[in-house]
Structure 1
Amino acid sequence: MGRTNATYRNHLDNFIDKFKPFRKGLRQENKQHLESLWEKAHSHAQAAAYMNSANPGMPAIISILLGIQKETQEHKEEIENLEQRIEELES
Protein backbone atom coordinates (compact mmCIF):
# COMPACT_ATOMS: atom_id res chain seq x y z
CA MET A 1 0.00 0.00 0.00
CA GLY A 2 1.08 3.56 -0.61
CA ARG A 3 1.79 6.24 1.89
CA THR A 4 -1.14 8.07 3.37
CA ASN A 5 0.73 11.33 3.93
CA ALA A 6 1.43 13.53 0.95
CA THR A 7 5.05 14.51 0.37
CA TYR A 8 6.25 18.10 0.36
CA ARG A 9 6.60 17.87 -3.42
CA ASN A 10 2.90 16.94 -3.64
CA HIS A 11 2.01 19.94 -1.46
CA LEU A 12 4.27 22.17 -3.56
CA ASP A 13 2.65 21.01 -6.79
CA ASN A 14 -0.79 21.72 -5.33
CA PHE A 15 0.43 25.16 -4.21
CA ILE A 16 1.75 25.90 -7.71
CA ASP A 17 -1.50 24.68 -9.29
CA LYS A 18 -3.35 27.40 -7.37
CA PHE A 19 -1.39 29.95 -9.42
CA LYS A 20 -2.64 28.71 -12.81
CA PRO A 21 -5.15 31.60 -13.13
CA PHE A 22 -2.34 34.03 -12.26
CA ARG A 23 -0.08 32.45 -14.89
CA LYS A 24 -2.88 32.65 -17.44
CA GLY A 25 -3.12 36.40 -16.85
CA LEU A 26 0.58 37.01 -17.40
CA ARG A 27 2.05 38.23 -20.64
CA GLN A 28 3.84 35.54 -22.62
CA GLU A 29 7.31 36.95 -21.89
CA ASN A 30 6.65 36.79 -18.13
CA LYS A 31 5.38 33.21 -18.06
CA GLN A 32 8.89 31.83 -18.51
CA HIS A 33 10.07 33.87 -15.52
CA LEU A 34 7.29 32.44 -13.36
CA GLU A 35 8.27 28.93 -14.46
CA SER A 36 11.85 29.72 -13.48
CA LEU A 37 10.67 30.64 -9.99
CA TRP A 38 8.77 27.36 -9.67
CA GLU A 39 11.90 25.48 -10.78
CA LYS A 40 13.80 27.16 -7.96
CA ALA A 41 11.13 26.05 -5.48
CA HIS A 42 11.38 22.48 -6.77
CA SER A 43 15.18 22.49 -6.69
CA HIS A 44 15.16 23.02 -2.91
CA ALA A 45 12.21 20.74 -2.16
CA GLN A 46 14.34 18.29 -0.21
CA ALA A 47 15.45 21.00 2.22
CA ALA A 48 11.92 22.41 2.43
CA ALA A 49 10.57 18.97 3.33
CA TYR A 50 12.61 19.08 6.54
CA MET A 51 10.40 21.95 7.74
CA ASN A 52 7.39 19.64 7.71
CA SER A 53 5.24 22.72 7.18
CA ALA A 54 1.49 22.46 6.70
CA ASN A 55 1.77 25.52 4.45
CA PRO A 56 4.06 24.82 1.47
CA GLY A 57 4.04 28.50 0.52
CA MET A 58 6.62 29.68 3.05
CA PRO A 59 9.31 27.08 2.24
CA ALA A 60 8.59 27.65 -1.46
CA ILE A 61 9.17 31.38 -1.11
CA ILE A 62 12.39 30.84 0.85
CA SER A 63 13.53 28.34 -1.79
CA ILE A 64 12.83 30.84 -4.55
CA LEU A 65 14.69 33.59 -2.69
CA LEU A 66 17.62 31.25 -2.11
CA GLY A 67 17.76 30.44 -5.81
CA ILE A 68 17.64 34.12 -6.75
CA GLN A 69 20.37 34.93 -4.20
CA LYS A 70 22.57 32.19 -5.64
CA GLU A 71 22.08 33.47 -9.20
CA THR A 72 22.80 37.04 -8.08
CA GLN A 73 26.05 35.98 -6.41
CA GLU A 74 27.11 34.01 -9.49
CA HIS A 75 26.41 37.04 -11.69
CA LYS A 76 28.39 39.33 -9.38
CA GLU A 77 31.36 36.97 -9.54
CA GLU A 78 31.10 36.77 -13.32
CA ILE A 79 31.00 40.57 -13.59
CA GLU A 80 34.06 40.86 -11.34
CA ASN A 81 35.93 38.34 -13.50
CA LEU A 82 35.00 40.21 -16.67
CA GLU A 83 36.04 43.55 -15.15
CA GLN A 84 39.37 42.02 -14.16
CA ARG A 85 39.90 40.70 -17.70
CA ILE A 86 39.10 44.14 -19.13
CA GLU A 87 41.67 45.74 -16.81
CA GLU A 88 44.26 43.16 -17.84
CA LEU A 89 43.58 43.78 -21.53
CA GLU A 90 43.80 47.55 -21.07
CA SER A 91 47.18 47.31 -19.32
Structure 2
Amino acid sequence: MGRTNPTYRNFLESYESDWAPFRRALRRQYRGDFDRLFERAAEHAAAAGVQNPPDPTESLLLSLLVAHEAELRRLRERVESLESAAEPAPASAPETDRT
Protein backbone atom coordinates (compact mmCIF):
# COMPACT_ATOMS: atom_id res chain seq x y z
CA MET A 1 0.00 0.00 0.00
CA GLY A 2 1.26 3.45 -0.86
CA ARG A 3 1.22 6.43 1.43
CA THR A 4 -1.62 8.89 1.17
CA ASN A 5 0.34 11.80 2.61
CA PRO A 6 2.91 13.79 0.66
CA THR A 7 6.52 13.15 1.65
CA TYR A 8 7.96 15.25 4.43
CA ARG A 9 10.50 16.78 2.06
CA ASN A 10 7.70 17.83 -0.32
CA PHE A 11 5.76 19.25 2.61
CA LEU A 12 8.81 21.15 3.81
CA GLU A 13 9.44 22.70 0.40
CA SER A 14 5.80 23.71 0.10
CA TYR A 15 5.73 25.10 3.64
CA GLU A 16 8.84 27.16 3.02
CA SER A 17 7.31 28.51 -0.19
CA ASP A 18 4.13 29.43 1.68
CA TRP A 19 6.21 31.46 4.12
CA ALA A 20 8.30 33.21 1.44
CA PRO A 21 6.42 36.52 1.92
CA PHE A 22 7.28 36.37 5.63
CA ARG A 23 10.94 35.78 4.77
CA ARG A 24 10.95 38.73 2.35
CA ALA A 25 9.46 40.94 5.06
CA LEU A 26 12.20 40.00 7.53
CA ARG A 27 15.16 42.28 7.96
CA ARG A 28 18.18 41.06 6.05
CA GLN A 29 19.98 40.11 9.23
CA TYR A 30 17.30 37.52 10.04
CA ARG A 31 16.81 35.95 6.62
CA GLY A 32 19.76 33.61 7.06
CA ASP A 33 18.28 32.48 10.38
CA PHE A 34 14.99 31.74 8.65
CA ASP A 35 16.79 29.72 5.97
CA ARG A 36 18.77 27.78 8.59
CA LEU A 37 15.53 26.73 10.30
CA PHE A 38 14.42 24.96 7.16
CA GLU A 39 17.88 23.48 6.63
CA ARG A 40 17.78 22.06 10.14
CA ALA A 41 14.27 20.72 9.66
CA ALA A 42 15.45 18.97 6.48
CA GLU A 43 18.27 17.30 8.44
CA HIS A 44 15.60 15.27 10.25
CA ALA A 45 13.58 14.40 7.16
CA ALA A 46 14.23 10.67 7.51
CA ALA A 47 12.79 10.55 11.03
CA ALA A 48 9.87 12.79 10.09
CA GLY A 49 9.15 10.62 7.06
CA VAL A 50 8.99 7.51 9.22
CA GLN A 51 6.50 9.22 11.54
CA ASN A 52 4.34 10.25 8.54
CA PRO A 53 1.67 12.12 10.55
CA PRO A 54 -1.46 13.46 8.87
CA ASP A 55 -0.27 16.99 9.72
CA PRO A 56 3.50 17.16 9.15
CA THR A 57 3.69 20.56 10.86
CA GLU A 58 4.21 18.70 14.13
CA SER A 59 7.17 16.87 12.60
CA LEU A 60 8.57 20.19 11.43
CA LEU A 61 8.29 21.68 14.91
CA LEU A 62 9.78 18.63 16.59
CA SER A 63 12.61 18.58 14.05
CA LEU A 64 13.39 22.20 14.90
CA LEU A 65 13.29 21.47 18.63
CA VAL A 66 15.67 18.53 18.21
CA ALA A 67 18.02 20.68 16.13
CA HIS A 68 17.94 23.45 18.73
CA GLU A 69 18.55 21.00 21.55
CA ALA A 70 21.54 19.55 19.69
CA GLU A 71 22.92 23.07 19.19
CA LEU A 72 22.46 23.85 22.88
CA ARG A 73 24.29 20.63 23.80
CA ARG A 74 27.20 21.51 21.51
CA LEU A 75 27.40 25.01 22.98
CA ARG A 76 27.25 23.68 26.56
CA GLU A 77 30.05 21.23 25.81
CA ARG A 78 32.12 24.01 24.27
CA VAL A 79 31.60 26.28 27.26
CA GLU A 80 32.49 23.45 29.65
CA SER A 81 35.67 22.66 27.72
CA LEU A 82 36.66 26.34 27.68
CA GLU A 83 35.96 26.63 31.39
CA SER A 84 37.97 23.53 32.24
CA ALA A 85 40.86 24.73 30.07
CA ALA A 86 40.83 28.09 31.85
CA GLU A 87 40.79 26.62 35.35
CA PRO A 88 44.17 26.77 37.04
CA ALA A 89 45.72 23.51 38.14
CA PRO A 90 45.03 22.78 41.80
CA ALA A 91 47.84 24.03 43.97
CA SER A 92 49.69 21.35 45.84
CA ALA A 93 49.79 21.59 49.59
CA PRO A 94 53.00 23.12 50.90
CA GLU A 95 55.37 20.58 52.30
CA THR A 96 56.19 20.98 55.95
CA ASP A 97 59.58 20.34 57.44
CA ARG A 98 59.18 17.36 59.74
CA THR A 99 62.56 17.35 61.34
Q: TM-score, normalised by structure 2?
A: 0.80
Runs of 4 or more above 4 Å deviation: none
Alpha-carbon offset, residue 89 of structure 1: 6.9
Structure 2, unpaired ranges of 5+? 92-99
CA distance in 2, matches of 1:5, 1:51: 11
Give the secondary structure class of the aligned counterpart of 1:55: coil
Counterpart of 1:68 in structure 2 is 68
Q: TM-score, normalised by structure 1?
A: 0.87
Q: Deviations over 1:7-64 (max 9, x none)?
A: 2211111111111011011000000001111111000011001111232211011101
Counterpart of 2:95 in structure 1 is none
Moved more, 81-90 or 6-15: 81-90
Which letter does structure 2 place at the counterpart of 1:73? R
1:11 counterpart = 2:15: no
Counterpart of 1:81 in structure 2 is 81
Counterpart of 2:29 in structure 1 is 29
Moved more, 47-56 or 37-46: 47-56
Number of aligned residues: 89
CA distance in 2, matches of 1:14, 1:32: 18
Higher relative helix content? 1
